[in-house]
Structure 1
Amino acid sequence: MKNNFILRSFIVSDVILFCFFILMFRMIQIQLFDSENYKEAINKQVNIERKEGGQRGNIYDSKGKGLAYSINMYELSVDPKRFIKSEEAPKVLKELVNKKYVKENYKPLLNAINKLGKDERIYKRLNRNIDDVEKKEIEDILENYKIKGKNIIFLNGRKERRYYKPDQYFFLVGNIGFKKTSEKEGIFGIELFYEKYLKGDKSSKIVPSIRSLGIGLPTAGAGSKVNLDGMDIHLTIDNDLQYILNDEMEKQFKKTNSEEAHAIMMDPNTGKILATSFFRKNKKNVANPVFQSQLEPGSIFKPLIIAAALQEKKIKRYTNFDIGDGTITKYKHTIRESSRSMKGIITTEEVLKKSSNVGMVLIGDKFTNEEFDKYLEKYGMYDRTGVDYPYEKKTRREAVKSWNGLKKSTMSFGQGIAVTPVQMITAFSSVINGGILYKPYIVDHITDKDGMIIRRNLPTAKQKILDEVVSKEMRSMLELAVLEGTVKKAHVDDYRIGGKTGTAQYSENGRYVKHEYLSSVMGFFPVDKPQYILLAMFFKPQGDVLYDKFGGTAAAPVLGEVVKRVTKVKNIHSQKVENIKITSKKTLRSIENNEELFLMPDLKGLSAREVIEIFKGSSIELEITGTGVVLTQSLEAHKELLNVKKIKIKLN
């Protein structure tokens, strides 16, 4: 018996020892070899990864008007199981329905919630698109009924991108969408070009938590708050000018039944883009033609060549050109005037004013091919302008040695060369701003969320092309084109406007289509010190007669209407108003008594603001009635104002 006991004891001891060695081996294996695997498993059970992303930056116009911005959106929901136990909840629901926060009929909705509550359901959505303002208003209602955070609650806060007047700004501001990542990013326009500034930063933090409840443990510690928001973009675009340009372009687009219409307005002295507009019948194409389409400009190109010839002293303003019967043959190709009445001897001024094709060929002949090509390069025709907009098109440059005999002749009047509208208006600006080619730009500056400017775009002069004397002479001749030439339909009484129209033949598959045109107008004002330059283009305009398709009819009226409205919005006084002010302050001495006399100005057609400005500082009392412009005045124009104490003005 004793021997058996000892044997059993040894066996048990051996088993225990063996188990101990296995346990020790397993502990060593876990501690030394498999420790990382077990740590990872524990972390997965305990830790929660919290990802944080900053809010996308906003896009503003030059006056701070939000054009693109991100807002928080919330889902308003109800817990039916708890709702039916509350006496106040139905009252709150009724108020939410009455105030349109919930867009359902009250009684059917109440019945549906009661039914879900009896079935012990805990969720029903009331509205999934509640913004921050609405959320605050709803929370105030819940607070009043003392049920805030109980049975009517907010869930799933999310960010959404909103755009101001997308019909006006879509092709400029652009939009966001999914590309290669799960996060939305800029895919078009300014949203794409300035993506790295707008997108903001992302961060990720591992927080020890009760995983099932998503509650952070006290041991997690407090994380430091970092501003992850994107930067804000401030455009050079003026919302007032944008509205005016867009409105006038839309009217003319519909009136001419064009296939496409686009326009751009700039400050010719800086390169700031102030407004753009774009309309198209084919909605599938989303390219912005102002920056991404190359077109034959037609006659709006002529001032560039005339200015270059004046600069090189190859011609003068009153140099004569014999255009014969209005035709010229070059390399077995006959070039004709658009008007059969244009014949005989004309001056450089008339070439521009009447838009003579033959005259331009004769001016072009004064250049060698190399000289002509050099000026095209100076005007920026062979390179991108560098405007801050994605995918700007670059003109294909053909080597001079490859030009055929007709190339220079057709380019002299704007055919046989394709440029983008932004290239064209940039080059034209140099003709009328004193001869400087500026880089165009759309973004003025970029700020962080504290308003600190972190980047500013400044006017960039690329090169000096023309002398001021040449530029001044070009402005004068272009003003005559509005007063007496092809741009007459852009004339506005008492305002000095310069401009040039264009009517380029439409080409398809390398061949020109008969009676289909790209009609355009380039205009600037005021003439003496241009503040605004505008290019408006209409693709394949239709009309009852052929003349209705030309630039002078299809496009020029837009320039005139824009000038009328911009001068009012920007308080640019007309020439007439300025003269009236001088007259109203001018003193005449009476021969009889040597007393100073003032003359009454003619106020008809002026606004109340202009009348008040004229009599500013005077002791004369004004009694103005009605609205609109001056219809009658109690004292006739040019009458003496001596001893006059009161003048009655009636507006209509």
Structure 2
Amino acid sequence: MKGLKISSLILCIVLFGGSLYLKNYFISVSSLLVLIYLLVVYGEWKKHKSVSRYNDRVLAGMNIVGFLIVILIIRLINLQVFKVDEYRKAVENQVLSKEQYIGNRGTIYDTTGKRLAYNINIYTLIINPKFALSDKKDRIFPILKEYCKEGLLDDKYLNLKNEIIQLGNNKKQYKILRKNITDSEKDQMMEIIGKVGSGVVREKILEFRKENKRKYFRSDLFFNLIGNIGYPRGYKGEEKKGIFGIEKEYDNYLNGLKVNREIRSTRTRGIKLPTDKIEAQEDINGKDIYLTIDSDIQYILSDELKKEFNKTKAQEAYAIVVDPNTGRIIAESSFNRKKEVRNPVFQNQVEPGSIFKPIIVGAAMNEGYVGRYSTFDVGDGKIKKYGHTIRESSRHVKGILTVQEILEKSSNVGMVLIGDKFTDEKFEEYLKRYGLYDRTGVDFPYERKPYTVSYKRWDKLKRSTMAFGQGIAVTPIQMIMAFSTVINGGILYRPYLVDKVVNEDGVVVRRNLPKPVRRVLKPEVSATMRAILEKAVEVGTVKNAGVEGYRVGGKTGTAQISANGKYVRHEYLASTVGFFPVNNPKYAILVMVYKPQADLLYHRFGGAVAAPVVGEVIRRVTKVKNILSEDIAQIAPGIYKGNEDKIKIDENMEIMPDLKGLTARDVLNLFKNKNYLLKISGTGEVISQYPKAGDKMENIKTITIRLK
């Protein structure tokens, strides 16, 4: 008997182990094991000799319990080994849900940290009328009554109640109660729910559906630069993408990620289970963009440009301010009558006119063809070249002119004579070195590719007309960067609009740095050109761009507009480029006004239309940025003689003189050899001072002057 039990046990173990290995035979083997067990029990009972009823009952009980244990073990093994995947899946279906997380789009800031494009959360309040009527606690209507009372819903309460009852009776499960709910309004609504009807959101009777909305600060100022988001043609995604401007150029950085996460919770109440895995928070929000744009200067530029645009009833107007030493774009603005969605600063190609002349003069000086005081005879103001007569724009420009006077008077004939110093090949070489044959590489979408023709295909007149800015097309961004090369020491820089890209932890993931493309002019040539262009503002055609107390340089341009291969009579592109301070330029400004209208022809020219805009921009920028005391303190004394000669001061400066009526330059010249810190604000003439006139100067280190 004992041997039989041992043999049976070994047989069971072998069969059972085999069944675990060969899973397909588990049921058959399990049945066989049960049969063997029953046979063993049967054999024991057959040989059992009853001694007492107690022993019989004990043996029977043991056999029954043993049988149940065998069945239980087989069942447990079946569940936990062979059907574990099936039952795990069933459990997951009961507690597992998927939630989609969409990161917020990044914010766009100006250089001072002011938000120009950002997201706000808005909500749509939705009710399930069917669930609302079946709610035994009757919580919905008191909530809605309170919402109407607080002005959070536009409908009258009784009308809304009757409508919801009617929809509920018709088994409707969806109705929008209100759209465009702000965060603060949602908090107010949730507070009412907490007091009146807690649980209605959790039970899906009421639902606040969240949506991100893109907001733009002063879109009238920044739209053509910042751009917008939407659904590009052919795009089938749900999330909006950048379709224009910075929003498009940096969309990969700004766009938030979309991730799906599995949540284990009770299905009815949404309570998170302790078995839910804790996952690390993933950075799914878009990156933030910091522009090089200064919103204060942007406002000034747009304001002054818009005034001239409306005043002259022009077809278009565009302007840009850059740092000539780095390529940083500080401000840009544009207006057009057609309300077109494009940015002409980067996408228009125009004939620049006379603002192009400094570029050619700089190249001629760099090659040693001319000097500042080289002379050219422009005769009676016209010259004949290859069967075409080129005339001066002003009949007063005649005789012998120096190079400086050619730029001061904006002589076309003089520029033709300077252009004759070049070969076509050398002329084209400088156009390429100034970057006029390539895109600038600015980080803005759709920058227009220049249309260029090899010098080998030029006609004989082309070099002569290009010398004074006709017969060549450039984009405004190309023009301002080439001009910046002339005044910044001779280096061409790549322009850029974005300073840095940061993540939500403030870590910089990308930074744009000034990128010198190449050296074009010698530093000494650039210094000479600054002096010539300053003189053009003082006594030349650019007088309207001058600002009292500042050293400003610049050049005007009045380009004829061509249509169908011919120039249109009395239709012009009026332009001016300016920069300041002359000794160390920090701002280069280009203003272009396309087809200005005026009764007098002169009032359509660059000196009358664009130059005043440059002057007013400079005047207002100096006030906003307090540049006067910082940047003109190094003005070379003695260049101009002003009213300071009327005031006599002793060498030791013991008594403060009366400065009323003096200009900023007068004050600087007056104190040029004195060891005082001058703080000057405003423009114009002195209206107040500290110390006051007649005060003793003992222990005085700082003098404060206010101008108006």
Q: TM-score range by the shorter chain?
A: 0.7 to 0.9
Distance across 2 between alignment mates of 1:601 and 1:399: 61
Alignment match, 1:438: 493
Does structure 1 conserve the Cα–Cα contact (< 8 Å) formed by 2:140 and 2:200?
Answer: no
Question: Are residue 601 (structure 1) and residue 659 (structure 2) matched?
Answer: yes
Query: Structure 1, residues 250-272: CA drift from partner, whole Å, max 9, x if none?
Result: 11100010111111110111100
Q: CA deviation at 1:472?
A: 1.4
Question: Of 63, 66, 73, which residue of structure 1 is paired with 2:122?
Answer: 73
Question: Which amino acid in 1 is paired with 2:186?
Answer: K
**Rounded Cα–Cα distance in structure 1 between residues aligned with 2:425 and 2:605:** 32
d(CA) in 2 for partners of 1:413 and 1:339? 14
**Mapping of 1:258-273 within 5 angstroms?**
258-273=314-329
Task: Return the alpha-carbon distance in structure 1 between the equivalents of residues 264 and 617 of structure 2.
Answer: 63
Q: How does 1:12-91 map to 2 (within 5 A)?
A: 48-76=97-125, 81=133, 89=143
> Contact (CA 8 Å) 2:556, 2:607: kept in 1 or not?
yes
1:413 to 452, 463, 468: 468
- Check 1:55–1:268 CA distance in 2 against 1; reply closer, same or farther (3 A cut): same
| SS of match in other structure, 1:167 | helix
Is residue 295 of structure 2 the alignment partner of residue 239 of structure 1?
A: yes
Q: 1:201 to 1:363 in 2, by over 3 A?
A: same
Superposition map of 1:340-489 within 5 A: 340-489=395-544
Q: In the alignment, is the contact (CA less than 8 A) between 1:260 and 1:281 conserved in 2?
A: yes
Structure 2 CA distance for partners of 1:632 and 1:297, relative to 1, 3 Å: closer
State the alpha-carbon separation in 2 of the partners of residues 483 and 383 from structure 1: 34
> Is it true that 1:92 corresponds to 2:146 in the alignment?
yes
Q: Which one of the candidate residues 282, 292, 298 is aligned to 1:226?
A: 282
Q: Which residue of 2 aligns with 1:532?
A: 587
Structure 1 residues 513 and 215, CA, compared in 2 at 3 Å: closer, same or farther?
Answer: farther
Which amino acid letter does the alignment assign opposite residue 212 of structure 2?
K
Residue 247 of structure 2 corresponds to which residue in structure 1? Answer: 191
Could you list the runs of 4 or more consecutive aligned residues of structure 1 that deviate by over 4 angstroms after TM superposition? 38-49, 77-88, 140-143, 145-154, 206-220, 574-580, 586-590, 603-606, 627-637, 643-652
Query: Secondary structure of the residue that 2:150 maps to in structure 1?
Result: helix
Question: Percentage identity across aligned positions?
Answer: 48
In structure 2, the partner of 1:249 is 305
CA contact (8 A) 1:504 1:517 kept: yes
* TM-aligned CA distance change 1:632 to 1:519, over 3 Å: closer
Task: Give how far 1:194 is off.
Answer: 0.9
* TM-score for both structures, normalised by structure 1: 0.81
Distance 1:471 1:141, change over 3 A: farther
TM-score (norm 2): 0.75
Match of 2:314, SS state, is coil
Check the 8 A contact 1:262/1:279 in 2, yes or no. Answer: yes
SS of aligned partner of 1:476: helix
Cα distance in 1 for residues equivalent to 2:121 and 2:411: 60
Match of 2:225 in 1: 172
Look up the SS of the partner of 1:398 in the other structure: coil
Q: Any idea what the Cα deviations from partners look like across 1:373-422, whole Å, max 9, x if unmatched?
A: 11111100101111111121121231111111001001101111111111
8 A contact 2:656–2:691 mirrored in 1: no
The alpha-carbon deviation at position 44 of structure 1 amounts to: 11
Worse-matched range after superposition: 301-310 or 64-73: 64-73
Q: 1:545 to 1:229 in 2, by over 3 A?
A: same
Give distance in 2, aligned partners of 1:170 and 1:410.
Answer: 36
1:605-647 residue CA offsets vs partner (Å, 9 max, x unmatched)? 89xxx9xxx9xx99xxxxxxxx99989669999x643399999
- Closer, same or farther: CA 225–519 of 1 in aligned 2, 3 Å: same
CA change 1:390–1:467 in 2 (3 A) is: same
1:93/1:384 CA distance change after superposition, 3 Å? same
Residues 630 and 330 of structure 1: is their aligned pair in 2 closer, same or farther, counting only changes over 3 Å?
closer
Q: Which amino acid aligns with 1:386?
A: G
Q: Which residue of 2 aligns with 1:129?
A: 180
Change (3 A) 1:165 1:153: farther
Contact 1:84 1:114 in 2 (8 A): no
Distance 2:191 2:164 in 1: 25
- Paired amino acid for 2:158: N
CA contact under 8 A between 2:548 and 2:683: conserved in structure 1? no
Structure 2 equivalent of residue 301 of structure 1: 356
1:279 corresponds, among 322, 335, 338, to: 335
Aligned-residue offset at 1:176? 1.1
For each residue in 1:578-612, what CA deviation from the matched residue of structure 2 results, as whole angstroms up to 9, or x when unmatched? Answer: 599x989x99558xxx9933323226789xxx9xx
CA-to-partner distance for each residue in 1:224-262, whole Å, 9 max, x for gaps? 431211111100000100110011111110001011111
Q: Name the CA distance, whole Å, in 2 between partners of 1:175 and 1:547.
A: 40
- Answer yes or no: is the 8 Å Cα contact 1:48–1:214 preserved in 2: no
Partners of 2:111 and 2:321 in 1: how far apart?
14
CA distance 1:337–1:553, shift in 2 (3 Å): same
Q: Distance between the aligned counterparts of 2:97 and 2:281, measured in 1?
A: 18
- Residue 200 of structure 1, CA deviation: 2.5
For 2:613 and 2:653, the matched residues in 1 are separated by 50
Residues 97-108 of structure 1: pairs in structure 2 closer than 5 A: 97=151, 101-102=152-153, 104=154
The within-5 A match list for 1:137-152 is 137-140=188-191, 145-147=195-197, 150=200
Are the aligned partners of 1:384 and 1:395 in contact in 2 as well (CA < 8 Å)?
yes
Q: Which residue of 2 is the match for residue 571 of structure 1?
A: 626
- The one-letter amino acid paired with 1:641 is D
CA displacement at 1:204 relative to structure 2 = 2.5
The Cα shift of 1:294 comes to: 1.1
Question: 2 CA distance for matches of 1:558 and 1:91?
Answer: 58
* Mapped partners of 1:379, 1:450: distance in 2: 40
Q: Assess if the C-alpha contact under 8 Å between 1:445 and 1:455 holds in 2.
A: yes
* Structure 2 unaligned spans of 5+: 1-24, 29-82, 638-643, 677-681
Letter in 2 for 1:289: P
Q: Provide the rounded CA distance (Å) in 2 between the counterparts of 1:558 and 1:526.
A: 17
2:490–2:521 contact (8 Å) kept in structure 1:
yes
CA contact (8 A) 2:126 2:174 kept: yes
Q: Secondary structure at the match of 1:299?
A: helix
Report the CA distance shift for 1:431/1:595 in structure 2 as closer, same or farther (over 3 A): closer
- Give, in whole Å, the separation in 1 of the partners of 2:617 and 2:149: 48
1:477 positional shift: 1.1
Q: Which runs of 5+ in 1 are unaligned?
A: 1-20, 25-34, 619-626
Amino acid at match of 1:159: N
Secondary structure of the residue aligned to 2:569 is strand
Aligned to 2:608: 553
- The answer to whether the 8 Å contact 2:309/2:593 transfers is yes
- Tell me the CA shift for residue 293 of structure 1: 1.4
CA distance in 2 between partners of 1:117 and 1:127 (Å): 14
CA contact (8 A) 1:300 1:500 kept: yes
Cα distance in 2 between the residues matched to 1:512 and 1:240: 38
Secondary structure at the residue paired with 1:191?
helix
1:333 deviation in Å?
0.8
Contact 1:444/1:457 (8 A) holds in 2: yes
Whether 1:111 and 2:158 are equivalent positions in the alignment is yes
RMSD value, Cα = 4.0
* Cα separation, 1, equivalents of 2:275 and 2:631: 79
Shift of residue 456, structure 1, vs aligned partner? 0.7
1:486 CA displacement: 1.1
Task: Indicate how the Cα distance of structure 1 residues 562 and 118 shifts in structure 2: closer, same or farther if over 3 A, else same.
Answer: same
Aligned-partner residue type, residue 223 of structure 2: F
